[in-house]
Amino acid sequence: MTELDRSRARYDGALAATIEGIANRIRQRGVELSLANGDRLDGRTCLVTGANRGLGLAVAHDLAKRGGTLVLACRSGLDETVAAIQKSAKRPELVTGVKLDLGDLESVEETMVDLQGRGVKIDVTILNAGIVPREARRTRDGFDESFQVNFLANVLFSRRLLELDLVGSSPTIDLKPRIVVVSSESHRSSPTVDWPSFGTFRPWGMRQAVEQYGYGKLLLQLYTQELSRRLENLIAVHSLCPGAVRTDIGREAPSWAKPLLDVTMRAFFQSPEHAAVPVVYLAASRAIESETGIYLHARQRKAPSEAATDPGSGRRIWDEAERLLSDAGHAVGE
């Protein structure tokens, strides 16, 4: 059994992943990714989705301090977020925002057209926004909200970035563009992909919330792996699970569970600023310039699950996502 196989086996199952996650936090104390002071982002444009709170907000602050030109893609709190990040930036005029609602595919289209109209070229795209809904909710596009926000809308977003030629490094900077996807270790405890009814809305309730979240992240991880294979040599595509982070991710938890969740978060979860480090590493580190397809769990390199790395499933997820988007009136091309 190789080290990668052992790592996969260790993460099969939600309980095992949680225990291993806490053990990892202890092991990783003192483990630093080599983000050098020279890993600056001056002259590079970085787009962060879900930048208005939690992990995305912490990442945006860090990128601004590193001199990046920022585009903050937010569903809510856009003006306040832009104002807050401008305070971290040496040149506040380099921080702008764009409205984005991943729960509405037309909003994704409008965001891309808006970016195209501004003539933006994005060097680093951070697909961070995500949700854990408490129950199935149908979006106006007819999909389950968890499926759409955690997976399908990210496909549309990234495919349009490429099609509309919005990705590109400044000619004065000798670095490849990067896409960094915020995934989750919960992809390991997802049910297998439901190919026969892929994308079909089905009701589910609170008991399935974590499972459905893991399912969305498995699909996202499969897509990310496929994207990195397809874009090899052109654009680096990396992904990560930030580990457990003290954010509003559990905001839809039932009210009886919230006090326990708060205590657990305070005791065991990292601050968003601490959790932002691996995201910023994948976005800015020059040490990984020649690589693509890196997956980090917090600060350690790992292999995503076997289900998430199978090339056949990767090709299939690519095609199935294209089909669903096309049926919903948002066809994506090559």
Q: Which stretch binds ligand NAP (CB under 6 A): 12-20, 63-71, 101-109, 315-323?
A: 101-109
Token pair belonging to 232 = 């090899």
Nearer to ligand NAP, 177 or 214 (CB): 214
247 binding ligand NAP? (CB under 6 A) = yes
Looking at the Cβ atoms of 50 and 314, the one nearer to ligand NAP is: 50
Query: For ligand NAP, which is the closer residue by CB, 145 or 169?
Result: 145
111 makes contact with ligand NAP (CB under 6 A): no
With contacts defined by CB under 6 A, name the span among 122-130, 255-263, 306-314, 315-323 that binds ligand NAP: 122-130
Q: Could you say whether residue 130 binds ligand NAP (CB under 6 A)?
A: yes
CA 319 vs CA 75, 85, 152, 257, 274: distances in Å: 28, 38, 12, 39, 37
Q: Which is nearer to ligand NAP, 35 or 108 (CB)?
A: 108
| Cα 128 to Cα 150: distance, rounded to the nearest angstrom | 9
Using DSSP bridges, classify how beta strands 45-49 and 69-74 pair: parallel, antiparallel or unpaired.
parallel
- Which of 241, 276, 280, 307 binds ligand NAP (CB under 6 A)? It is 241
- 100 counts as binding ligand NAP under rule CB under 6 A: yes
Rg (CA), the chain: 19
Residues 26-55 that bind ligand NAP (CB under 6 A): 50, 52-55
Phi and psi at residue 245, in whole multiples of 5°? -125, 140
Q: Say which residues have a Cβ less than 8 Å from residue 229's Cβ, sequence separation at least 6.
A: 293, 311, 314
CB closer to ligand NAP out of 75 and 176: 75
Please name which of 58, 191, 26, 216 lies closest in space to residue 131, comparing C-alpha atoms: 216
Q: Does 158 interact with ligand NAP (rule: CB under 6 A)?
A: no
